[in-house]
C-alpha cells in the first residue's frame, strides 16, 4: 500500500478545511458541513446505459437506488489448469480420504506455461477503458483519484519430475477510485467505492460502483482533534500509538443490520493504533496494527445519537439490559452482545437472557454438569440510526453463568464458526454480518462462535493427546475437542487483529481492555518445529505443527478466513514468505484467506458479502477464494490475499467451493506438500 504522512496528503490534495499550523501540529476548521444525499446509488437510466455498454442484462447489474455489482464467475481470477495423471490423482486421494459431506473432488494442476503466456492489459489502457465505461453510463467519478493495480498469482513448488517451479504473474488489471468530498476531505467506506477489473483481452471480469450523489448541507461543530484523541485513548490498550485522520465515511448499502439509506453523510475521525507483539521465541518486536475504527467528529445531536445503557442481573442468573437513545435519525437498529447467543438474536431496545460461560477445565476434565460459574458478564449494544451512524456502550456486571459445553455430534452437511476476541465494540457488526450471511440456505450449522475472553489461543492448537482437553486447554490446545476449536467446523472466520507473524486471541477472565495490548494473548507464527503463545507477558511453547485441517476424528476444517490486518503480507520483517510463516500450521487445511494490508471498517458488509458469494445468496456462487476477493472489492475492504499448499503434479485447492456448492480439491497433508501458492492484490 502507498503510504503518506497525513499532513503531506492534505497539502497534496488541497483540503480547504485544514488550517495551517506548525510542524507536527494539526488544526481542523471549527465547523464543517454534513453532506446531504441527493441520490442513493444508480438510476434506471444509468443501469440501462451500463447494461448496453457491457452487453449484459440489466437484472445482472443491480437495482435502482442501489449499487452496481457485476462479476463473471468463470473468468474472475481464473488460473489455467491442466489434468494430472491417474497415478498422481490416486496418490493424493489415498493420502487423505475425503469426508462424506465434502462432495466431489477435483484434481487439476496449475498450467504454468499457459499462465506465463497469458496477456495482461496495459495499465493506461485499463484506466482509459474504466473512465469511458463510467462516463458513458453517466456514473460520476468526478475528481476521484484512479489507482491501477493487479492481482498477482505466485507459486513455488517441486513438480512430478523433481523440477523446481516458480512463478509470479499478474492475472488481471484493476482500476479503483478514491473519492473525496467537495471540500477536499477523503470520502471513504463501502458506500463510496468504484472498481473495474479486466482480463488480458480487456474483458470486464468484475465491476463495482457503490456511491451516492451528495450536496453540501448545514455546518456542524467539529470536535478538536486533541479532544478526539483523548476520547479514543480511553478505548485503547496501554502504550498504543494512535493514528487519526478526519474523513467522511459513507456506510454500506447492505450492512450487518440490513439496508442503509442515509439522508446525510457526517464527518468522522478514522483511527488505527499500533501496539507491539514480542515473539517469545526470539524476543523480536513486531508492530501490530489494528483494523480501522471510527468515532463521529461532531457531537451534534441532530446527526449523532446519544445512548444510555443500563444493565443488571436478576438473582445473578438472568441478565436484563436496556438502551435509551435520543438524537440522530430514527429509526434505530440495536445489535446486542452477550455471552448467550440468544442475546445476539434480540433486536429491540431491551434484552433479557441467561448468561453463559465457556467452562475452564482445571486439569483436563470438563466441570460438573449443571455447575454455575461465577464470572463477569460483558453486556454491549451497538445502536445504528437511519443514517448509518453507530454509537456503542458496554457494561460489566457480576453473574453466575451456565456452562457452554462441547457437543461431539457433527452429523453430515456444512458447518461454520467464528472467533471474535475483540468484542464488544466495532468488531460486533463484522461478526453479526458474518452470521447473517451464513444463515442463508446452504450455510449449514454454526458449531461455535467464541467472543471476547472466550476466544482462546488453544482453539488453534492441537493438544498433546488429540481429542482431549489438557490442563490449561486455552493455551495448550482444544482444537479438535467437540465443538470447541477451529477444526470442528468446515469454515471459520477470525474477526480480530493481526500482523505478518501472528494474530490476536484472549484468555479466560481477561478484561476487554486487555485485547490487543500487553496483557492480552497473541498467537505467534508457527515456526517449525513448534510455536509460541504469549499471554499477559508470559510465553508458552506450544505445537502448532499440522494443527489446521480436516484429518482428525473431530476435524472438519477446510478453510480459515482471517479478517485480520497484514497477516498475509507477502513477507515479514525477516523476509519470510507466507508459506514459510504459516505453512507449518497446515495439517490438511485447504486455504487460508486474509489481507496483505490493514483492514477497513465495513459495518458488517464485508463478511456478509463473503458469505453471500460462497452460498450464492442473492449473488453469483463463487469459490472460496473468488468470494473473498469479490467481497473485498464490493465493500472496499483492505487488500485481499489467500494462500494454500501445492501437491504432487501442481495440484491445489485454489478453486474449492463451499460444501454443497461445487467441487473441492483434495486434502493435501503435510507429507504431500510440494510447495505453496499465494494470491494477492
510, pLDDT greater than 80 = yes
Q: Coil, strand or helix: which one is 572?
A: coil
Q: Over range 366-372, report the average pLDDT.
A: 69
Is residue 398 assigned to a domain?
Answer: yes
| DSSP character string of 291-313 | PPEEEES---TTTS-EEEEEEEE
- Residues 6+ positions from 618 with CB-CB distance below 8 Å: 612
Grid coordinates representing 6 are 497525513
Q: Over range 3-28, report the average pLDDT.
A: 33
Residue with more model confidence, 481 or 186? 186
Give the sign of the dihedral formed by CA 530, CA 532, CA 533, CA 537: positive
Q: Could you tell me if 675 and 157 are in contact, meaning their C-beta atoms sit under 8 angstroms apart? A: yes
Is residue 413 assigned to a domain?
Answer: no
Q: Over range 87-114, report the average pLDDT.
A: 81
Give 240-282 as a 3 state SS string: CEEEEEEEEECCCCEECCEECCCCEECEEEEEEEEEEEECCCC
Instruction: State pLDDT tens for residues 150-201.
Output: 999 999 999 888 899 999 999 999 999 999 999 999 999 999 999 999 999 9
Q: Which range, 221-235, 334-348, 461-475, has the best average confidence (pLDDT)?
A: 221-235
pTM of the model: 0.92
Is residue 316 assigned to a domain?
Answer: yes
Q: How many domains does the chain have?
A: 1
Helices (H), 42-174: 44-54, 86-95, 112-117, 123-137
- Residues 6+ positions from 576 with CB-CB distance below 8 Å: none
For the chain, the distance separating the N- and C-terminal CA atoms, rounded to the nearest angstrom, is 10
Helices (H), 209-248: 225-233
Helices (H), 556-598: 578-582
Is residue 386 assigned to a domain?
Answer: yes
Q: Could you tell me if 453 and 422 are in contact, meaning their C-beta atoms sit under 8 angstroms apart? A: no
Closest CA to 520 of 538, 506, 499: 506
- Mean of the per-residue pLDDT values of the chain: 88
Q: Over range 647-661, report the average pLDDT.
A: 95
pLDDT at 615: 98
Q: Coil, strand or helix: which one is 575?
A: coil
Grid coordinates representing 502 are 501472528
CATH of the domain at 359: 2.60.40.10
Give 375-396 as a 3 state SS string: EEEEEEEEEECCCCCEEEEEEE
Residue given cell 448467550 in the structure block: 340
- Give the C-alpha separation, 315 to 293, whole Å: 36
21, pLDDT greater than 60 = no
Q: Please calculate the CA angle 256-258-260 and round it to the nearest 5 degrees.
A: 105
- Give the C-alpha separation, 261 to 209, whole Å: 16
Q: Could you tell me if 70 and 56 are in contact, meaning their C-beta atoms sit under 8 angstroms apart? A: yes
- Residues 6+ positions from 512 with CB-CB distance below 8 Å: 378, 394, 423, 424, 425, 452, 453
263, pLDDT greater than 60 = yes
Is residue 94 assigned to a domain?
Answer: no
pLDDT at 279: 63
Q: Coil, strand or helix: which one is 24?
A: coil
Q: Could you tell me if 565 and 596 are in contact, meaning their C-beta atoms sit under 8 angstroms apart? A: no
Q: Could you tell me if 121 and 198 are in contact, meaning their C-beta atoms sit under 8 angstroms apart? A: yes
- Give the C-alpha separation, 615 to 434, whole Å: 12
10, pLDDT greater than 50 = no
- Give the C-alpha separation, 388 to 452, whole Å: 25
Q: Please calculate the CA angle 637-639-640 and round it to the nearest 5 degrees.
A: 90
Is residue 317 assigned to a domain?
Answer: yes
670, pLDDT greater than 80 = yes
- Give the C-alpha separation, 244 to 246, whole Å: 7
Question: For 487-590, where are the E strands, in sequence order?
Answer: 491-495, 498-499, 502-505, 521-524, 531-535, 538-542, 559-563
Of all residues in the chain, what percent carry a pLDDT higher than 70?
90
Crossing angle between the packed helical segments 427-438 and 605-615, to the nearest 10 degrees = 20
- Residues 6+ positions from 246 with CB-CB distance below 8 Å: 17, 28, 185, 222, 225, 267, 268, 269, 270, 297
Instruction: State pLDDT tens for residues 311-351.
Output: 998 888 999 999 999 999 999 999 998 888 888 788 899 99
pLDDT at 15: 29
Q: Over range 199-218, report the average pLDDT.
A: 96
Count of CB atoms situated within 10 Å of the CB of 227 = 12
611, pLDDT greater than 80 = yes
Count of CB atoms situated within 10 Å of the CB of 456 = 29
Crossing angle between the packed helical segments 44-54 and 123-137, to the nearest 10 degrees = 140
Of all residues in the chain, what percent carry a pLDDT higher than 90?
64
pLDDT at 538: 82
pLDDT at 419: 96
Burial of 199 (0-12, 13-18, 19+ CB in 10 A): buried
Closest CA to 525 of 547, 556, 549: 547
Residue span of the structural domain in which 307 resides: 299-405
Give the sign of the dihedral formed by CA 163, CA 500, CA 270, CA 255: positive
Residue given cell 471476547 in the structure block: 452
pLDDT at 363: 55
Phi, psi of 94 (to 5 degrees): -70, -30
Is residue 243 assigned to a domain?
Answer: no
pLDDT at 9: 24
17, pLDDT greater than 90 = no
Is residue 331 assigned to a domain?
Answer: yes
Grid coordinates representing 653 are 485447492
Q: Which range, 400-409, 528-537, 608-617, has the best average confidence (pLDDT)?
A: 608-617
Residue with more model confidence, 617 or 290? 617
Q: Could you tell me if 615 and 440 are in contact, meaning their C-beta atoms sit under 8 angstroms apart? A: yes
Question: Residue 159 carries which DSSP code?
Answer: -
- Residues 6+ positions from 493 with CB-CB distance below 8 Å: 416, 417, 418, 419, 431, 434, 561, 562, 563, 607
530, pLDDT greater than 80 = no
- Give the C-alpha separation, 33 to 52, whole Å: 38
119, 123, 128, 131: CA torsion to nearest 10: 110
pLDDT at 98: 61
Instruction: State pLDDT tens for residues 282-294.
Output: 667 777 888 899 9
- Give the C-alpha separation, 40 to 262, whole Å: 8
Amino acid at each position: 500500500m502507498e503510504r503518506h504522512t497525513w499532513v503531506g496528503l492534505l497539502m497534496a490534495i488541497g483540503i480547504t478545511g485544514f488550517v495551517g499550523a506548525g510542524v507536527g501540529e494539526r488544526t481542523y476548521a471549527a465547523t464543517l458541513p454534513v453532506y446531504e444525499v441527493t441520490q442513493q446509488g444508480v438510476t434506471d437510466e444509468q443501469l440501462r446505459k451500463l447494461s448496453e455498454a457491457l452487453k449484459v442484462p440489466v437484472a445482472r447489474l443491480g437495482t435502482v437506488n442501489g449499487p452496481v455489482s457485476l462479476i463473471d464467475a468463470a473468468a474472475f481470477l481464473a488460473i489455467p489448469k491442466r489434468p494430472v495423471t491417474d497415478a498422481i490423482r490416486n496418490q493424493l486421494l489415498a493420502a487423505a480420504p475425503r469426508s462424506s459431506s465434502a462432495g466431489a473432488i477435483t484434481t487439476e494442476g496449475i498450467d504454468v506455461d499457459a499462465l506465463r503466456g497469458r496477456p495482461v492489459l496495459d495499465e493506461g489502457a485499463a484506466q482509459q477503458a474504466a473512465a469511458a465505461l463510467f462516463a458513458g453510463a453517466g456514473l460520476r467519478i468526478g475528481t476521484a483519484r484512479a489507482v491501477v493495480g493487479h492481482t498477482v498469482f505466485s507459486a513455488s513448488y517441486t513438480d512430478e519430475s523433481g523440477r523446481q517451479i516458480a512463478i509470479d504473474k499478474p492475472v488481471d488489471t484493476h482500476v479503483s477510485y478514491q473519492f473525496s468530498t467537495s471540500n477536499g476531505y477523503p470520502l471513504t467506506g463501502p458506500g463510496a467505492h468504484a472498481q473495474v477489473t479486466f482480463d488480458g483481452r480487456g474483458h470486464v471480469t468484475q465491476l463495482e460502483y457503490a456511491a451516492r450523489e451528495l450536496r453540501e448541507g448545514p455546518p456542524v461543530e467539529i470536535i478538536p482533534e486533541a479532544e478526539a484523541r483523548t476520547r479514543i485513548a480511553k478505548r485503547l490498550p496501554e502504550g498504543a500509538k494512535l493514528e487519526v485522520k478526519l474523513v467522511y465515511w459513507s456506510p454500506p448499502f447492505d450492512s450487518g443490520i440490513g439496508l442503509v439509506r442515509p439522508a446525510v453523510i457526517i464527518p468522522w475521525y478514522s483511527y488505527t493504533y499500533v501496539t507491539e507483539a514480542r515473539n517469545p521465541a526470539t524476543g523480536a518486536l513486531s508492530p501490530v496494527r489494528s483494523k480501522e475504527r471510527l468515532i463521529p467528529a461532531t457531537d451534534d445531536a441532530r446527526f449523532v445519537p446519544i445512548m444510555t445503557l443500563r444493565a443488571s442481573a436478576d438473582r445473578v442468573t438472568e441478565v436484563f439490559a436496556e438502551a435509551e437513545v435520543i438524537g440522530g435519525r430514527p429509526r434505530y437498529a440495536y445489535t446486542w452482545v452477550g455471552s448467550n447467543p440468544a442475546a445476539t438474536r434480540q433486536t429491540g431496545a431491551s434484552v433479557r437472557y441467561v448468561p453463559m460461560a465457556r467452562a475452564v477445565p482445571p486439569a483436563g476434565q470438563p466441570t460438573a454438569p449443571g455447575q454455575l460459574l461465577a464470572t463477569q458478564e460483558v453486556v454491549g449494544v451497538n445502536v445504528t440510526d437511519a443514517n448509518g451512524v453507530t454509537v456503542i456502550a458496554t457494561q460489566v456486571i457480576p453473574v453466575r453463568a451456565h456452562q457452554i459445553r462441547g457437543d461431539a455430534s457433527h452429523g453430515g452437511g456444512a458447518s461454520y464458526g467464528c472467533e471474535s476476541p475483540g468484542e464488544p465494540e466495532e468488531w460486533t457488526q463484522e461478526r453479526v454480518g458474518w452470521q447473517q450471511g451464513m444463515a442463508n440456505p446452504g450455510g449449514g450449522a454454526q458449531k461455535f462462535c467464541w467472543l471476547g475472553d472466550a476466544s482462546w489461543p488453544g482453539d488453534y492448537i492441537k493438544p498433546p493427546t488429540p481429542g482431549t482437553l489438557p490442563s490449561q486447554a486455552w493455551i495448550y490446545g482444544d482444537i479438535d475437542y467437540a465443538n470447541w476449536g477451529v477444526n470442528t467446523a468446515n469454515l471459520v472466520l477470525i474477526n480480530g487483529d493481526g500482523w505478518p507473524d501472528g494474530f490476536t486471541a484472549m484468555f479466560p477472565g481477561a478484561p476487554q481492555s486487555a485485547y490487543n495490548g500487553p496483557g492480552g494473548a497473541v498467537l505467534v507464527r508457527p515456526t517449525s518445529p513448534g510455536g509460541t503463545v504469549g499471554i499477559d507477558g508470559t510465553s508458552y511453547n506450544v505445537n502448532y505443527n499440522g494443527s489446521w485441517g480436516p484429518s482428525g476424528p473431530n476435524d472438519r476444517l477446510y478453510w480459515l478466513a482471517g479478517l485480520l490486518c497484514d497477516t498475509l503480507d507477502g513477507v515479514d520483517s525477516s523476509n519470510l514468505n507466507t508459506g514459510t510463516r504459516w505453512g507449518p500450521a497446515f495439517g490438511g487445511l485447504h486455504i487460508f484467506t486474509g489481507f496483505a494490508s490493514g483492514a477497513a471498517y465495513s459495518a458488517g458488509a464485508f463478511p456478509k458479502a463473503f458469505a453471500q458469494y460462497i452460498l450464492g445468496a442473492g449473488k453469483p456462487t463463487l469459490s472460496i477464494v473468488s468470494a473473498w476477493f469479490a467481497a473485498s472489492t464490493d465493500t472496499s475492504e483492505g487488500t485481499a490475499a489467500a494462500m494454500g499448499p501445492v501437491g504432487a503434479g501442481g495440484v491445489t485447492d485454489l478453486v474449492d467451493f463451499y460444501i454443497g456448492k461445487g467441487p473441492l480439491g483434495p486434502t493435501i497433508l503435510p507429507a504431500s506438500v510440494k510447495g505453496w501458492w499465494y494470491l494477492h492484490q
